[in-house]
Structures are given as C-alpha cells and as structure tokens.
Chain A
Amino acid sequence: MNVNLHPKEGILFSAYLLFFVIHGVQTGVGIVGLPRIVFLEAKHDAWISVLVAGVLTSIVLWFIITMLKQYDSADLYGIHVDVFGKWVGNSLSIIYMLYMVGSFFIIFMNYIEIVQVWIFPNLATWQLALVLIFLTVYAVFGGIRIIVGVAFLSVVGTMWILVVAFVPLRYADFSHLFPIMNIGFGELLKGAKSTTLSMMGFELIMFVYPYVREKKKSMKYVQIANMYTTFLSAFVTLISIVFFAGDSLKATIWPVLSMFKIVRLPNLERFEFIAVSFWMLIILPNMCLYLWAASKGFSRVLKRKQKTGVWVFAILAFGATFFIQARYQMNMVTDLVAKSGFYAVICYPVFLSIIVLVKKWWTKRRNSHAKAS
C-alpha cells in the first residue's frame, strides 16, 4: 500500500472548506446533551470547562496537522503502515475503522432516540435507521466532493438556529454564573473530558487531508473550525446554565432542545419540533464522513472496492440497531464509544504524532550522518 494518497485533481477541495468539514462533523448529536453532561462535572463553571476542552483539542489538532505535514499527502492508514509496518499498522487501521463505524452507529442511534422521545414514541428504530443509512450511503457514493458539500450546506443551512438560541436569554438568570471559577481544577478537567462526545470528529482530518488542495493552509482552517465549535458549545452551555436552575439542568437529558420549547413565532409554536427535524441536517455530514472514512479503509487496507466497504458497514450498522432496545443499552453503547473516542481521538493521535516526529527526526539525522561520512 502506498503511504501517500494522490487523488485526482478534480476531486480535491479548497482548504477553506475544511472549516465546514471539521465544524460540521464536530457538532452533531453531542451538543444537544452537552450542557448537562458538563454541568454534572463542572457545575456552574461548565462553560469554562468547555473552553478548556477547546484549548486541549486545539493542541491535539496541532499535533495531528504537524504529523500530517511530515508526509506529502498521507492519511492515517498510510501513516500506520509507514510507522508500524504492514501487519501491525493494518490491524491498527482496522481497529480505527471499527471505532469510526461505532461513531457512525451512535450518531444515528442517538438521533433516532431523540426523535422517539420528542416526536414519535412508536416509531420503529430500524425504519428510521434504514432511511438515514440509505441517505448516508447515497451521499458517500458521490465521493468526498459531495460529502464536503453536504457538510458545507449543513453548516450554512443550520446557522440560523444559532439566532434562535438567543431567545432563551430572555428568561436568563445570570446570577447562576457567579461566582466564576469557584470549582476545583480537577472538576474542570473532568468536565472537559466529558465533552469528548461533542468535540470528537476532528480526527477525520487524518483521512480527508490528502484531498485538500492547499495543504499548507489546512492548519489555519482546522483551528478556526475547532475554535468556532468550542465557542458554540460554550455558548450553548452558558445559555443552559442561566436558563435552567441547577437541579433541573441535571435532570434534563437534552437541554438544548428543552430550551427551544419556549421559542415561539406568530405562526408557529413549540420550536423544538422543528429543531428535532432539522437536526437531521446537522448529523448528516457526521454520518457521511464517518462512513466514508471507515469505508476508505476498505480500499486502502483491504484492497477492496470502497463501495463494498460502504455496503458492508451500512449493513453492519443496520443489523446492530436490532440489538438496542432500551434507553440504558443505548447509554451504555454511547458511553463505550465516547470512552474509546477519548483514547482514539485525543490520546492516540498525540502518541502517534510523537512517534512520527521522532522517526522523521531519526531518519533525518541518520541521513545527514550517512552523507557526512
């Protein structure tokens, strides 16, 4: 397998679109429940916790991009082979693929759960799952250019929701925020850790990187995207803190949707019904990118057609929906993926990039030695 991937000129996309890809894939089902999860750990300083998480992910991103820059145009699959050799590298790649399929799975499953709780209590899980998977497959077959387009339109098309998020401020009680920084640093970090589910997604840069046209600019746009996501999450968390009383925020599973309940227009009430439907557009790029990146492994690692990979993973994910019956099972799986996500997204890339950097440094030194002698 080639370490570097050289796609055709026609399917490369401009670096600025990375902003939409990374931001689009970071915001998904995670952000709906984010305020509560962080609040459980970091109390009224949760929003600071989210900012801390943003800084941490930004550091991780720096590592990832620096690692990618060591190569001409490589993705994680290529780097694995380059660093660990064929066998170890490929098996690591397969583990990573499974993690991504897991993410794909929990994204749409969580969305379906939201739909079932808020709108259709007796909607069969597999039906909506089938339709969502079909949409994803349809998009993934169009290739990376289409998926990036979906991410772009999803981010642009849902930006107006941010405006709606200002409405709950009318009922805000800002005294909830004080005293600022009253909580231990440990809790703050714990809170930051619990944001993993809504911050993850940026690891996909390791797969889309070869498809970026101006690779030098990628660092800038990826960092901006991460900053924007962080800002958005912190903003949403902040609003939730001032909008809810502490105890009710602890009890509210999806605070963002609950906040939308109070939004009303002259010809429309109960905005959350629209928000839940619209959230499909927000999770669509997530599902597409995860499925695409996982199925890419089929052509890179297993030397099969990527389309086969898409079908295999789609059917796998669809089959798995039948095993989830109750809410606690769903929570278990989500926690599992979030936990493995923490290692796969935060720890592992940093570890890998350190290895890559050391290796590059080593070969450079050896080469210069060889030249000198």
Chain B
Amino acid sequence: MFKWMSGKKTPEGEKAHSLQIDELKEQLKKELVACSDLMFRTLKRNDKKIVICFVSSLIDKTGVDDYILKPIQENTQSGWSVEELAQILPITDLTGANQLNEIVMALIDGKTYIYSEGEPFGFLANLSNTVERSLSHAETESLVFGPKIAFTESLLGNVNIIRNNIKDPNLCMEDLAIGTRSKTSAKLVYIKGIADEANINTFRQRVSQLEIDHVQGTTVLGQLIEGNSWSVFPQLMTTELPDRITLALMSGRVAVLMDRSPDALYGPTPFFTFFESTEDVYMRWNMGFFLRILRLVATFLSVLLTPAYVAVLTYHYEVIPSPLLVSLGQSRSNVPFPPVFEAFLLEFVIELLREAGARLPTKVGQTMGIVGGIVIGQAAVEAGFTSNILIIIIALSALGSFTTPSYLMGTAIRIIRFPIILMAGFWGGIGIMVAFCFFIIHLLKLDTLGRPYLAPIYPLNLKDLGYSIFRFPSQFLSYRPVTNQPEDKERYSAKKAKEKKDVDE
C-alpha cells in the first residue's frame, strides 16, 4: 500500500519530520508562523502517544471527534501502529505522509494529521470544512429563460455541476496550480475527442507558464493569458453560467475553472461569441435569430448614434431632411456648448449614473435611476444644457450597450464610443470613418488563443455563421462550429436527418 515510501530518496528541501511528538509539534509551530489556530490533541495509552494536528478554523470539528477520536478511543483491542490505525479510521480520504513540507501544506489545506509516535509516517485525513455560499441565481448574466444555476466559489462544487451536466467519460479535468505563491488549484476542462488538441495545448501552456505570485480569479487569469493586453476588447470570456460552459465544451472549446472564483474562463471566444446568450439557444430558433440580430444592431447603433449626431450637427447640416431640421435646430438652439462637448457631458452623466447605480445597494440604486434619469435628464434640457434629441440618442445608445450579454464587452463598447465621438467632433463623418477603420484593423489584429478574433467573418466560414451571428434551426446544424476545429465534427448524422418520409408513410 505505501510501497512508494520505502527507499524513496529525500530530495533537497524535503525532509521527514521528527519522530518525537514534542519535536514534531515544535517543527510544525515553526513552519506555520504565528498560526494561533493550529491545534494539537494528544492521546496516550500504554506509553504510546498519538497526536492529532489540525488548523481549527479549517476543519469540521465534529468530524474529527466522530471519525478520529472516537474510533481510536473506543477501539481498545488493536494497537496504534500505522497498519492498525488505517484499519480503524472510518475516513475515505486518508493518505500516508511524513514529509514536513507536505504536512504543512496539507494542514493549510484543511487536512488533519494523525501521527502515532515512533512510526515511520502518519496519516493525513481530509475532514476539511470550507465556508461556502450555497448555489444561487446568476447575478451578472441574468436570464429570463433556461437554467438558473450559477457557479459558486467552490471548485469542487463547480466541477460537480459540470460533471453532472456532461456525463461523458471523455470529459477531462486536468489539475493545474496557478500562482507561484498562492498555488490556487484549478482545472483545465475539455472533452477529449471534441476539443482541438492545439487549443488545449495553448491553453495549458499559457496557464502553466504563468509566473506570478497570485492570480485573483479567472477574470484576471483571462487578462494575463490573452494575446493583446492593450486592447479594450476582452479576448477570452468568463461566465458564471454552467450551461454556457456546457455548450462551449460540447462545441469544442476549452475551459478553466479556478478555486475561489465564481466564473469559468473559456476559449477560443471570437468577437461574436460575446453577443451570444444561452437564451438564444433555449428560445425557439426564430426568436433566437431575431434576438441575436437585435443585439448586434443595438451594439452597432450604440457605437454610432452619438458620433453621428455630433458629426451631423457640427459639420454636415446638409444631410438633415427638412422635417427633422426644425426640431433638431430648435432643440439645439438654446444649448451653449458645441455638440461634442454636449455629447461628452451627457455620456459622462450616463456613465456616472451607471457606475453609481452599480456601487449602491439595490434599493438605493433604483432611486438613483429615477433621480438620474428623470430629474437630471429633464432638468438638463430645461436648463438648456443639452438638447432633448441628444438625451434620446444617449439613452438609446446606453440601452444598446446593455443588451450585450457579456458585461466586459458591454463596457468595452461604451468605452470605444468616446474616442469615436471625439473624432466625430474633429472631422465629422471622416473622423467617424477613421475611427471605424482603426477598430476594424484592430479587431483583425486580435486573436483568441491564437485563433482569429473576427471568426467566422474573417476568415469567412459560411457554415459557422449559423452558430455565431445568426442562429439557425438545429436541423441545419448537424456539425460542430468549424472555427473551434473540433476533432469530432458531427453532432448528429446529417444524412440520417435528411431522410424524408413520403406522404402517408
């Protein structure tokens, strides 16, 4: 059973702990600096001593009482040798150890060390108890339709959810440790046979080669391993929805789960992935189709409406048709600022409202919305600070940016509006176009896990359009998205699906 122990050379930096219990205590106290909740419980019988060490805050005390102390105390027949202890302790997760380092790490992890004096090694029993939030609704990606369950901070729990979602023996979970100092445990999740080997390797390589003391969570991990960290556009996606991850895994993507992080990171995620919601899939396909197009149009308008307003009112008054002319000019006529400044002012107010609303508790947040939206909006127009048409436009573009399912992408879209407004203020339509061209080139230059960011538009993949920009009914989607280069390309046999029945057959 513990064959590996015998004859094992002790490498440098690793040493077995002392066989004397008192010395062991001292050693542990020295290693775990100023650890006031390190506790020892010593039992004695016939001159034989046994010690149970644990960090009291991390363990389940009743578990220690019931499964360690009770069996040892009650069982008077057998001795306290390692073999005998292994027989009497009713614990599943029980491993032998005698390396000081290992034991210290295990104690921090919430394990309990049981050592019987004089024996060559002791036991690490897992009776840890981590404080966890129970499963709850998704907060950042709220849904009307579909499963409501969200990831929590517990890696084990998250793995549990995914395993339950995909009962496929090929579902792989590779262990990773992230952070040179914190050593947060993480899992690389993919389905062998579907996910492309190259994607898995890139992901694994980027994560494991990361040399940083501590990573604060998957969102930070995403920022650290993406290709271009200067860009405002997120290149890897995080989500708190297990079903989203399930969909991604089934279409050949690779995910990383991290302990203490309620989001999963996955990739490759091209630009248009950020505009997909799981709701599109749960809806009937035509509704999904409509919603997806709606979201893209909303995004486009959100980026372009305010700059267009600025450009037209500053330079291109010729393009306004006469019915609109009067109302536009009328509302502009009592504004003392140039249109750029006006637009910036109002965009700034909207951003303030959004930020303040996010920072405040929900109840106050609602009041904030009313105060901001109605009072400031109305008063600003009355006071001649802005034109009421701009208020409508700004509100529309703010709404448009909130339709993006990914919070990160929504923020990115709100931010890129500012330079475009600025350019529109400088050069009108030409300025908008300069900014537009810049963003096109920029998006083309980005990559997600080494794959093109604008896929499936460029490189064009007509088959995948049904997955990303549009949503086709599933009888047309017999294949997995080609952009992810899945190894198993088919979801179901297209040939079989195409067999048609004759009338009355």
Instruction: Tell me whether A and B are bound partners.
Output: yes
Q: Which residues of A contact B (CB under 8 A)?
A: 13-14, 16-17, 115, 119-120, 123, 128, 131-132, 135, 138-139, 142, 146, 149-150, 152-153, 156-157, 264, 266-270, 273-274, 276-278, 280-281, 284
A120-B430, A135-B441, A150-B440 are known contacts. Are A273 and B319 too (CB-CB below 8 A)?
A: yes
Interface bits B416-430 vs A (CB < 8 Å: 1, else 0): 000000000001111
Establish whether residues A149 and B454, one from each chain, have CB atoms under 8 Å apart when the complex forms.
yes
Establish whether residues B321 and A266, one from each chain, have CB atoms under 8 Å apart when the complex forms.
yes
- Shortest CB-to-CB span from A114 to chain B, Å, is 10
A119-B315, A142-B444, A146-B444 are known contacts. Are A273 and B429 too (CB-CB below 8 A)?
A: yes
A-B CB proximity, top 9 nearest: A277-B429, A149-B444, A277-B433, A139-B441, A280-B433, A149-B458, A142-B445, A270-B319, A146-B444
- Shortest CB-to-CB span from A121 to chain B, Å, is 12
Establish whether residues B434 and A269, one from each chain, have CB atoms under 8 Å apart when the complex forms.
no
- Shortest CB-to-CB span from A78 to chain B, Å, is 26
Max chain B Cβ within 10 angstroms of own Cβ: one of A115, A266, A270: A270
Establish whether residues B324 and A152, one from each chain, have CB atoms under 8 Å apart when the complex forms.
no
Establish whether residues B429 and A13, one from each chain, have CB atoms under 8 Å apart when the complex forms.
no
> Which of A120, A131, A135, A150 meets B444, CB within 8 Å?
A150
- B476 touches A (CB below 8 Å): no
Q: List residues of chain B with CB within 8 A of the CB of A152.
A: 458, 460
Q: List residues of chain A with CB within 8 A of the CB of B442.
A: 138
Establish whether residues B321 and A284, one from each chain, have CB atoms under 8 Å apart when the complex forms.
no
Establish whether residues A153 and B434, one from each chain, have CB atoms under 8 Å apart when the complex forms.
no
Establish whether residues B441 and A277, one from each chain, have CB atoms under 8 Å apart when the complex forms.
no
A277 to B449, CA, bound (A): 34
Establish whether residues A150 and B430, one from each chain, have CB atoms under 8 Å apart when the complex forms.
no
- In chain B, what residue has the closest Cβ to A16? B460
For chain B, residues 178 to 192, give those with C-beta under 8 angstroms from any C-beta of chain A: none
Give the tally of cross-chain contacts (CB within 8 A): 88
Establish whether residues B429 and A269, one from each chain, have CB atoms under 8 Å apart when the complex forms.
no
A sample of 5 more A-B contacts (CB under 8 A), given A16-B460, A276-B429, A284-B437, is: A135-B434, A150-B440, A150-B444, A269-B321, A278-B433
Q: List residues of chain A with CB within 8 A of the CB of B427.
A: 120, 123, 128
> Which of A14, A119, A123, A138 meets B429, CB within 8 Å?
A119
Q: List residues of chain B with CB within 8 A of the CB of A270.
A: 316, 318-319
For chain B, residues 392 to 437, give those with C-beta under 8 angstroms from any C-beta of chain A: 427-430, 432-434, 436-437
- Shortest CB-to-CB span from B329 to chain A, Å, is 15
List 21 A-B pairs, Cβ < 8 Å. A16-B460, A115-B430, A120-B427, A120-B430, A128-B430, A135-B434, A138-B441, A139-B441, A139-B444, A149-B452, A149-B454, A150-B440, A150-B444, A153-B458, A156-B457, A157-B440, A266-B321, A270-B318, A273-B319, A277-B430, A280-B433
Q: List residues of chain A with CB within 8 A of the CB of B459.
A: 13-14, 17, 149
Establish whether residues B321 and A153, one from each chain, have CB atoms under 8 Å apart when the complex forms.
no
- In chain A, what residue has the closest Cβ to B430? A277
Q: List residues of chain A with CB within 8 A of the CB of B458.
A: 149, 152-153
Establish whether residues B319 and A280, one from each chain, have CB atoms under 8 Å apart when the complex forms.
no
Establish whether residues A138 and B444, one from each chain, have CB atoms under 8 Å apart when the complex forms.
no
Max chain B Cβ within 10 angstroms of own Cβ: one of A149, A268, A276: A149
- In chain B, what residue has the closest Cβ to A143? B445
- Shortest CB-to-CB span from A6 to chain B, Å, is 21
- B438 touches A (CB below 8 Å): yes
- Shortest CB-to-CB span from B479 to chain A, Å, is 19
- B294 touches A (CB below 8 Å): no
Q: List residues of chain A with CB within 8 A of the CB of B428.
A: 119-120, 277
Establish whether residues B319 and A146, one from each chain, have CB atoms under 8 Å apart when the complex forms.
no
- Shortest CB-to-CB span from A199 to chain B, Å, is 24
Establish whether residues B436 and A281, one from each chain, have CB atoms under 8 Å apart when the complex forms.
yes
A273 to B430, CA, bound (A): 9
- B320 touches A (CB below 8 Å): yes
Max chain A Cβ within 10 angstroms of own Cβ: one of B442, B445, B457, B458: B458
Establish whether residues A153 and B318, one from each chain, have CB atoms under 8 Å apart when the complex forms.
no
Q: List residues of chain B with CB within 8 A of the CB of A281.
A: 433, 436-437, 440
Q: List residues of chain B with CB within 8 A of the CB of A13.
A: 459
- In chain B, what residue has the closest Cβ to A264? B321
Q: List residues of chain B with CB within 8 A of the CB of A284.
A: 437
A149-B444, A150-B441 are known contacts. Are A131 and B434 too (CB-CB below 8 A)?
A: yes
Q: List residues of chain B with CB within 8 A of the CB of A156.
A: 457
A360 to B167, CA, bound (A): 63
Q: List residues of chain A with CB within 8 A of the CB of B318.
A: 269-270, 273
A264-B321, A269-B319, A273-B318 are known contacts. Are A138 and B430 too (CB-CB below 8 A)?
A: no
> Which of B321, B430, B432, B433 meets A267, CB within 8 Å?
B321
> Which of B320, B437, B452 meets A280, CB within 8 Å?
B437
